[in-house]
Chains A and B, each alone.
Chain A
Amino acid sequence: MLKEFNVLDLTTEAGWLCGKMLGDLGADVIKIEPPGGDPGRQHGPYYKKTKDPERSLFWFALNANKRGITLNIESREGRDLLTKLVQETDCIVESFAPGALEKLHLDYTSLKKINPGVILTSISSFGQEGPRKDWKASDLVCMAMGGFLHLCGAPDRAPVGVSLPHGYFFAGADAAVGTMIAYYHREQTGVGQWVDVSIQQSVAMTCFNSVPWWQLQKVIQGRMGAFRKIGLFGGLVLRQTWPCKNGFVIFILTAGAFGARTNQLLTEWMDSEGMAPEFMKKMDWKTLDAKNMAPDFVKAFDEYVMKFFLSHTKEELYEGAVRKGMQLYPVYDCAALAESPQLRARDAWQPVEHPELGITMTYPGAWVKMSEAGCQTRRRAPLIGEHNLEVYHEGLGLPLEEVERLKQSGVI
């Protein structure tokens, strides 16, 4: 789909997902690493647990569908080479600290002189401007500053987040959105632009509950563990995560027409096993609303439903939910996902060759199905400098001896 779109990817792990998403849709993405490799390759997990920059599964997962070259852009010769690459490209994605590109004379104004229609997509913790632009941050810090962490965890412990860098993923995905909107605009007008992504702002979308609550009611939504607060005054506490026989399921008692069918089906299911109390059987679920969902009702509901869930495995509960059309999901781990009949039927997994490792590894493949073209993992992430010859010699036309010299002098 995007095979005419050329991207130079100068990002750290804070921005890897952007180029990966564009590559998945067919863009030619060249990942530019410093000589020796991207520092993010030092992060695991590793294939067979062997720490090696060529075995980082973290790197593999987020850099598939990219070609890879090495280049020291801090050297003068390196910058000259980059200038040549910039002339041929549509887009540059980077995640240096704000101001760093300017020092290298590679800021948007300079790049535009080299390639007038170029799109520069910059990813930084807090954006290119503003009082905190120079703050040092990390994924966790951005998740904190963006208002996400405060909502997560149990009230008796510190806020706690996701064990993967989701702030970086949010920003990487938003960088792809901004890049594509800019590309669409350029296709109409020929005008490129500078896309300024703030990781904090990307994370802040997770506040679409909490900020309205603060704005309208001056209520600060705190972290609720397995529960969630709803209702007119945010006063009703409902369980969201339930233990079952072998793990957890997620189920939310929902009022009115939105929940009536699921609540009725659950009651019938419990009744068929002699586990539904009279008050649930007598309930006309359509009439359940925030007003009559009194704490006593919720407490009794919790007690019986919990007993029922604890008598079943998450697989049984999900299978029943699917068969009956009830709203309930199991908490799946990677092993369970790998076995999901739905994902299998959708060809969600894709084998990718890793000849150097002598294996075929399974990847999450297409994240979208488009009737006109495929989204797919066409190639594994690049080895360090794997496409140096292809890009510098075949692409830019540098003589082989010159490429070798650049390599010896540490430019590439």
Chain B
Amino acid sequence: MKEKDETREALEGLKVVDFGWAIAAPVICWYLATHGATVVRVETSTRPDVYRVSAPYKDNKPGLNRAGFFAYPNVNKLSIALNMNLPQGIELARKLVAWADVVVDNFRVGPMEKWGLGYEDLKKVKPEIIMVRTTNQGLTGPHNTHPGWGWQLVGLSGISNLAGWPDREPLSFGMPYTDVIAPRFGVVALMAALVHRKKTGKGQLIDLSQLETALQFISPAMLNYFANQDNDKRTGNTSTYAAPHGVYRCKGEDRWCAITILSEREWKDFCNAIGRPQLSEDRKFETLSDRKKNEEELNQIVEAWTVQFAPEEVADRMQAARVPCGIVQNAQDVFSDEQLRQRNYFWTLDHTEMGPYAHMGQPFGLSETPAKPRMPAPCLGEHNEYVCTKLLGMTDEEFLDLLTLGLFE
């Protein structure tokens, strides 16, 4: 057994080329970069990542290196700007492939093939390469080239239909929801492929359909359809096995709390905590099925109580009574959340153009190889020279020749 090594990260030594765009592939590579892999993002200023040209910007001044969405998940990565319209650009991309263990992209079927960077091409450059390709609907099938974003895919995935109020339109969410689902599946598959490669020496192609990963998030509803022919629809914040179970208005502008009573014990505790112990003996609310039957009235009673207090106070009182409750935290609350802060969730690093900027944090901690902030999200092409000379071993002259050619654009 090796002694605990404070400096080691779990994926140290792993080399990754990130041909990502927007979110899905960049987030796969974010998991890798934050755990110590060397990740090179291949970009171009002729068609910059959509999130480099989307608000919000630092000081509200647009700029490729000032965009908040881009910076948030691209922490710990290197960036090379590469003009893929020049043959030397493609040649350099191939050199990166030869250097790498893993190539990740989320273009729709087409561009990578056009550049001669499809899996079969990569295998010729490096037989043991592992390529992760994530697309909306997979590399094969009649809809494989259909373009789209996670913002829209959530509709196709069945999730929208199962989110929101039953009497209102389905939710389309305030974020491209499938893009926060698929990457997690992608990393699990990739890690399995890396372990497999260590055992057999073989690389492989990973075809990750974001739609198919999203089906795992509605699997109980799919089984209900296939087994019972029940076509589930959204049910608001209710639960079939808990009541009260919902979001309740609190004191203040747009302030809310979530309360979920999961057992009869918690129901009694709740009634005591709001100073109405007799409520738990009320025939209308005694058992779960009573409470489900009279849920509307029940919710009004709960809200008549919660609305008197700020959500923080509601949560504190409920937690003191051992009742599951939380604050509906907005972005400001999340950003200043004491629990997240103490767990070092946000990674504030001094970004080259943006100054101190908090990057997206980890969902989990690793006891022996904690994830480490090493560098802020890169400016476009910030590491052209480093990647060429230090990672690919070019001489300064070779690098300057390519620079003069206009390759790093």
Contacts and interface: CB of A to CB of B under 8 A. Distances in A.
Interface in B53-98: 53-58, 60, 62, 68-69, 71-73
Across the A-B interface, the 10 shortest Cβ-Cβ residue pairs: A212-B68, A151-B174, A180-B191, A250-B155, A214-B331, A334-B225, A61-B219, A173-B184, A141-B326, A210-B331
B170 A180 contact: no
Interface string A203-233: 0111111111111110111111110101111
B7 interface: no
Interface stretch (A65-73, A186-194, A268-276, A279-287): A186-194
A358 interface: no
Interface stretch (B161-169, B278-286, B385-393, B399-407): B161-169
A127 B343 contact: yes
Interface string A351-384: 0000000010111101111111101000000000
A20 B62 CA distance: 44
Contacts of B196: 1, 372-373
A389 interface: no
A193 B369 contact: yes
Interface string A139-183: 111111111011111100111111110100111011111101111
A358 B365 CA distance: 44
B339 A132 contact: yes
A326 B278 CA distance: 60
B69 A198 contact: no
A197 interface: yes
12 contacts: A127-B339, A135-B315, A158-B249, A183-B191, A194-B368, A205-B363, A226-B169, A230-B55, A322-B146, A327-B147, A328-B152, A333-B233
B231 A215 contact: no
Nearest to B68: A212
Nearest to B1: A116
Given A57-B220, A191-B2, A209-B69, A250 B55 contact: no
A159 B315 CA distance: 17
A158 B260 contact: no
A17 interface: yes
A297 interface: no
Interface in B238-275: 239-242, 245-249, 254, 256-258, 260, 262
Given A159-B247, A169-B217, A178-B363, 15 more contacts: A43-B241, A130-B338, A141-B258, A144-B328, A160-B163, A181-B366, A187-B198, A196-B367, A200-B339, A206-B177, A206-B180, A220-B331, A250-B160, A327-B148, A329-B152
Interface in A314-333: 318, 321-322, 325-333
B171 A45 contact: no
Given A195-B365, A364-B212, A342 B256 contact: no
A60 to B, nearest CB: 6
Interface core residue of A43, A180, A232 (most chain B CB under 10 Å): A180
A108 B365 CA distance: 14
Contact of B326 (A44, A45, A61, A144): A144
B162 A204 contact: no
Interface string A254-270: 00111000100000000
Contacts of A145: 326-327, 329, 337
B163 A343 contact: no
Contacts of B146: 321-322, 325
Given A151-B173, A184-B194, A142 B326 contact: yes
A22 to B, nearest CB: 8
Nearest to A21: B188
B74 to A, nearest CB: 11
Interface stretch (A28-36, A241-249, A300-308, A397-405): A241-249
Nearest to A158: B247
A323 to B, nearest CB: 9
A126 interface: yes
A241 B170 contact: yes
Interface residues of B, number: 163
Interface string B3-24: 0100010110100000000010
B156 interface: yes
B50 interface: yes
Contacts of A181: 10-11, 31, 35, 187, 191, 366
Contacts of A2: 192, 195
Given A159-B247, A370-B193, A249 B155 contact: yes
Interface string B182-211: 001111110111111011101011111101
Nearest to B255: A150
Contacts of B106: none
A327 B363 contact: no
B340 A327 contact: no
Given A153-B164, A166-B217, A331-B155, A204 B233 contact: no
Contact of B222 (A61, A117, A147, A210): A61
Contact of A161 (B204, B226, B237, B332): B237
B191 A250 contact: no
A361 B206 CA distance: 27
A158 B160 contact: no
Contacts of A337: 158, 215, 222
B367 A108 contact: yes
A225 B247 contact: no
B234 interface: yes
Interface string A1-24: 110110000000000010001100
B111 interface: no
A160 B165 contact: yes
Contacts of A334: 158, 161, 218, 221-222, 224-225, 231-232
B223 A368 contact: no
